[in-house]
Amino acid sequence: MPEDSRPDTGVRSEPATAEVGSDRPLAPRWQRVVSSRWLYKTIFLLYFIFAVVQLLRFEKWARGSGPYVPRPESVAGMLPIGHFTSFFAWVRGGGWDMLLPAGLVIILMSLAVSLAFKRGFCGWICPVGTVWELFAALGRRLFGRNVRIPRWLDLAGRGFRYLLASLFMFALMVVPLSEAVGFRQLPYMWTADLKIVHLMAQPSWLAVAGLAAVLSVLFGPVWCRYLCPLGGLYSSVGAASPCAVSRDAEICIHCGRCAQVCHAFVDPSKVSRVHAPECDGCMDCVKECPVDGCLEAKAFSRVRIAPWVWPLLVIGLWLIIFGFASATGNWTSHIPPEQYRQVIQAGILEQRTQGFLE
C-alpha cells in the first residue's frame, strides 16, 4: 500500500517532515483520556478488589454470618496455574471445565489479547502487574528513574522467567489427562481462591510482598520482568503478534525519547519493528515520538493503529470473548451455592466430588 493511501487513524496532525527536534501538538484531550493506560489498569484493579471483597462476603454467607452474595466468577483469575492445568486438559481432549469455566475463559482471553496485541494483557489489564507498576512509578517519582541493573544480570533474570514459564507449561502438559481432569473436580480447587486471599493476610506473605514492592520502587516491576511465569508465556506469545510498533528510519531524528519513556527498557529507535518480547504495547513511545508518522503501531506492518484505538481493540477483544462465554453459558460455575457452602463449612480439602458429578 502506498504511504499516502494508508488508512490514517493517527492522532498526529503535523506533517511527516516535521522540523528536527520540534514537538508535535498535543492530541485532543479525549484521545489522551481514551489512550491512558492507567485509566484501564486502574479500572481493572478496582474491579479485582471489588471481586475479592465480594468473595469474602460470599464466604461470610457460607459460614452463616451474612446475607447471600453471589460468588464472583472473575476471582478465578487468582488461580492461573490451576486453571492452566484445566486449559491443557481441555486442549488434550479432556473436555471443557463446567465447574469453574471462568478460569478457562480468562486464560483464553489473556492469550488472545497477548497474541493479537503484543502482550496486551500485561500492558492494559493485569491487576497484579498494575500494583507492581504503581510501586515502580513511585520510585520514578521519588528518585527520577528506576535503576537499571547490569545487562548480564537483566538477561539472566529474564532468562529465568522463561525457564520458569517453560517448566510450568511442560509440567502441566505432561500430567496424565485423568489427573488433570480430576484436579479441577477437587473441592480444594473450588475454594483455593479463598485460601489465597487469606494467605495474603499472613505476615510471611506480607513480608515477601513488601520486599517485592521495595525492589519495584528501586528497579521497576521485578516480579513482572524476572519472575512471573505467565508474563514469560504472554511475552512468548506476544512476540508472534501481527500488531507492533514500527519505526520509519528515514524520518527518525534519533532524539532517543522513545527509549527514554519505555518502561520495559526497549529501544525502538534501533529497530524498524519492535519485536522485543518485553514490549507490552503500552504506546508510550508512539505518543512521545516528536516526528509525525515516525513511530506508529501497525497491523502486519501496514495498517496504522492510533494510540487511542489500540487500547480499545485490546479491551474490545477481551470483552467480546467474555460476552460470548457469558452468552453461551461458559462463564458461570455450575457448582450450586449450597455445594460451596458445604465445602467451606466442612473445610474439605481433598475430597473428590464423584457424588456431585454423578
Q: Is the distance from CB of 105 to CB of 111 less than 8 angstroms?
A: no
Core vs surface per residue 237-265: b (16+ CB within 10 A) or e: bbbebebbbbbbeebbbebebbeeebbbe
C-alpha cell at 325: 462465554
Does 274 participate in binding ligand SF4 (rule CB under 6 A)?
Answer: yes
Does 309 participate in binding ligand SF4 (rule CB under 6 A)?
Answer: no
Which listed residue (109, 192, 283, 343) binds ligand SF4 by CB under 6 A? 283
Q: Where does 144-202 have alpha helices with state H? A: 151-174, 177-183, 187-190, 192-199
Q: Which string of DSSP letters, residue by residue, matches 73-111?
A: GGGGGG-HHHHHHHHHHHHTTS---SSSHHHHHHHHHHH
Eight-class DSSP state of 24: P
User: What does the per-residue mask of binding to ligand SF4 show for 119-158, with x meaning CB under 6 A?
Assistant: ---x---x-xx-----------------------------
CB of 171 to ligand SF4, least distance (A): 18
Which listed residue (228, 313, 321, 343) binds ligand SF4 by CB under 6 A? 228
Q: How many CA atoms, within 13 angstroms, populate the side-chain half-sphere of residue 289?
A: 31
Which listed residue (18, 230, 305, 313) binds ligand SF4 by CB under 6 A? 230
Does 269 participate in binding ligand SF4 (rule CB under 6 A)?
Answer: yes
Which listed residue (43, 218, 239, 253) binds ligand SF4 by CB under 6 A? 253
Eight-class DSSP state of 268: G
Task: Give whichever of 23 and 179 is closer to ligand SF4, judged by the CB atom.
Answer: 23
Q: Is the distance from CB of 194 to CB of 344 less than 8 angstroms?
A: yes
Q: For residue 247, give the 3-state DSSP assignment.
A: strand
Q: Within 10 A of 22 (CB to CB), how many other CB atoms are there?
A: 11
Query: How far apart, in whole angstroms, are the C-alpha atoms of residue 187 and residue 345?
Result: 12
Does 245 participate in binding ligand SF4 (rule CB under 6 A)?
Answer: yes
Which listed residue (254, 300, 327, 347) binds ligand SF4 by CB under 6 A? 254
Stretch that binds ligand SF4, among 8-16, 201-209, 275-283, 350-358 (CB under 6 A): 275-283
CB of 231 to ligand SF4, least distance (A): 2
Stretch that binds ligand SF4, among 5-13, 21-29, 44-52, 265-273 (CB under 6 A): 265-273
CB of 90 to ligand SF4, least distance (A): 20
Query: How far apart, in whole angstroms, are the C-alpha atoms of residue 218 and residue 111?
Result: 30
Q: For residue 26, give the 3-state DSSP assignment.
A: coil
CB of 317 to ligand SF4, least distance (A): 17
Does 292 participate in binding ligand SF4 (rule CB under 6 A)?
Answer: no
Q: How many CA atoms, within 13 angstroms, populate the side-chain half-sphere of residue 192?
A: 19
Which listed residue (51, 104, 192, 294) binds ligand SF4 by CB under 6 A? 294
Which listed residue (11, 62, 217, 279) binds ligand SF4 by CB under 6 A? 279
CB of 208 to ligand SF4, least distance (A): 14
Does 257 participate in binding ligand SF4 (rule CB under 6 A)?
Answer: yes
Does 224 participate in binding ligand SF4 (rule CB under 6 A)?
Answer: yes
- Which of 287, 266, 262 has the alpha carbon at shortest distance from 276? 266
Does 109 participate in binding ligand SF4 (rule CB under 6 A)?
Answer: no
C-alpha cell at 175: 500430567
Contacts of 234 (CB under 8 A, 6+ apart): 110, 111, 114, 119, 121, 122
Does 239 participate in binding ligand SF4 (rule CB under 6 A)?
Answer: no
CB of 292 to ligand SF4, least distance (A): 10
Does 196 participate in binding ligand SF4 (rule CB under 6 A)?
Answer: no
Q: For residue 246, give the 3-state DSSP assignment.
A: strand
Query: How far apart, in whole angstroms, are the C-alpha atoms of residue 200 and residue 65?
Result: 22
Does 113 participate in binding ligand SF4 (rule CB under 6 A)?
Answer: no
- Give the residues lining the site for ligand SF4 (CB under 6 A): 122, 126, 128-129, 223-224, 228, 230-231, 234, 245, 247, 252-258, 261-262, 264, 266, 268-269, 274, 279-285, 289, 291, 294-295
